[in-house]
Structure 1
Amino acid sequence: MWCIAEIDAEYRKKMYKVLNLYEEEYNLKYPVICFDEKQKYFISDVKTKIPMKPGSPEKYDYTYKINGSANIFVAVDFKGGVRDITVTDRRTKSDFAHYIKHLVDNVFPKAKKLRIIMDNLNTHTYTAILENFEFNEAVRLISKISFHNTPKHASWLNIAEIEINIMDIECTGRRIKDKNTLTKETKAWCEKRNKNKSKINWNFTKKDADKKLYKYYTKS
């Protein structure tokens, strides 16, 4: 946010839309879902670790070996205290489309419509769904969702970024050697967060935005 010298009308329009959604009262049938993704590199140790013991943390050498990577999809209903973490090999249009179907049918099956906040990555489109499902199925899925993009260079507006930061601190921020381990550990972490109905309190409003950012606003 602080790297932007000017905030034009298009930026403000998208920012206000997201902030207005965040201010709404929680509605189980129309939840606001924040979505993002993160690449995770698999790292193995070159030298054997020294395991932790009472009074001494685990120790490992600074040298390591990269053994590929995976993608982590993160979706969070921050007011309902529900999130989903799914590990995939890649983050293609097909991966995105099938993940949206997973959210609709498995994670939030009782919702009439998911209002999904996300960035402007070129895979994040309704077209991705049309290209990867039979027409009637694609139409069904699209009828159950609405996409709301954050402005460009405004990842700070996406609450999924906060969830990912918490995940990194508590789970994925250390060395993980392979996809199987990553999948097991993110699943366990996600289940614990959901069991506790962990929520995120967002207090930055449209009024706050105007007060804090008005000096960057342009007329166009």
Structure 2
Amino acid sequence: MEQVLDLYEQPYDADYPVVCLDESPKQLLDYEHFVTSTGQRCRDSAYVRRGVVELFVATEPLRGWRCLSVETDHKAATWVHFVARQLDTTYRAAKKVRWVMDNLSTHKLSFFYAHFPPAVAQAYVQRMEIVYTPAHGSWLNMAEIEFSVLSRQVLDQPFTTTEQVRRVVAQWQDRQNARPKPRNWQFKTADARIKLVKLYPTI
């Protein structure tokens, strides 16, 4: 836990940016509709499941920037290619990106070697440092804040297709990035040692 909190206290450094990554599922539902006696079309409570999409977010709190991607799964290959895209585009000039993410089985640097030639994988891995949130400590990942805002503002409605989700998420991302608001994380290591003393060393 303190590794994450110490990282959040460090000043902004474009050469060594701190980026939070998270994933979240969104169910696709196709609701039935009916027409009332007055001719009004209403949504029924019955629906058909159309699958699930996985939302990936990489957010840089000190810049107030985020990149979202809507994928069909959350396999290791999907995670690898999402991270690689960030390194190839937004962070191509960074010396090393310091990632904060949950310790999922798919979030391992070794998977880069399973999906890229060794030399390419090594080049990616050498530019990465991962700081995992502790078990039951996903609240330490500021990417969860992005999903919370996204869910309240645009995902609080049913979606039937993957493309619908992609369009809405892309529009939201562009609006947010057009007026960036850096996040100021208030909970410090010193606070944790006082307020969470009973949980040490379990987190």
**Could you say whether these structures have the same fold, taking a TM-score greater than 0.5 normalized by the shorter chain as the test?**
yes
Segments of 5+ residues of structure 1 without an aligned counterpart are 1-14, 51-57
* Identity of matched residues, %: 30
The residue that corresponds to 1:113 in the other structure is 96
- Listed as ranges, the matches of 1:15-164 within 5 Å are 15-48=1-34, 60-164=43-147
Q: Give 1:179 shift.
A: 0.4
Q: Check whether the contact 1:70–1:89 (CA below 8 A) recurs between aligned residues.
A: yes
**Residues 171 and 185, structure 1, Cα contact 8 Å, conserved in 2:** yes
Aligned-residue offset at 1:88: 0.9
Distance change in 2, residues 1:59/1:170 (3 Å): farther
What are the Cα deviations for residues 179-204 of structure 1, in whole angstroms up to 9, with x where unaligned?
Answer: 00111110110111111113222100
Distance 2:123 2:34 in 1: 52
- How far apart, CA to CA, are the structure 1 residues paired with 2:193 and 2:45? 45
Which secondary structure does the structure 2 equivalent of 1:107 belong to? coil
Give the equivalent residue in structure 1 for 2:195: 212
Mind listing any 5+ residue stretches in structure 2 that lack a counterpart?
none
Describe the shift of the 1:49–1:132 C-alpha distance in structure 2 as closer, same or farther (beyond 3 A): farther
Shift of 1:173: 2.6
**Aligned-pair Cα RMSD in Å:** 1.8
Q: Which has the higher strand share?
A: 2
- Report the alpha carbon displacement of residue 66 of structure 1 after superposing the two structures with TM: 1.2
Name the CA distance, whole Å, in 2 between partners of 1:19 and 1:195: 28
TM-score, normalised relative to structure 2: 0.92
Distance change >3 Å, CA 185–CA 218, structure 1 → 2: closer
Structure-2 change in CA distance of 1:29 and 1:49 (3 Å): farther
Number of aligned residues: 198
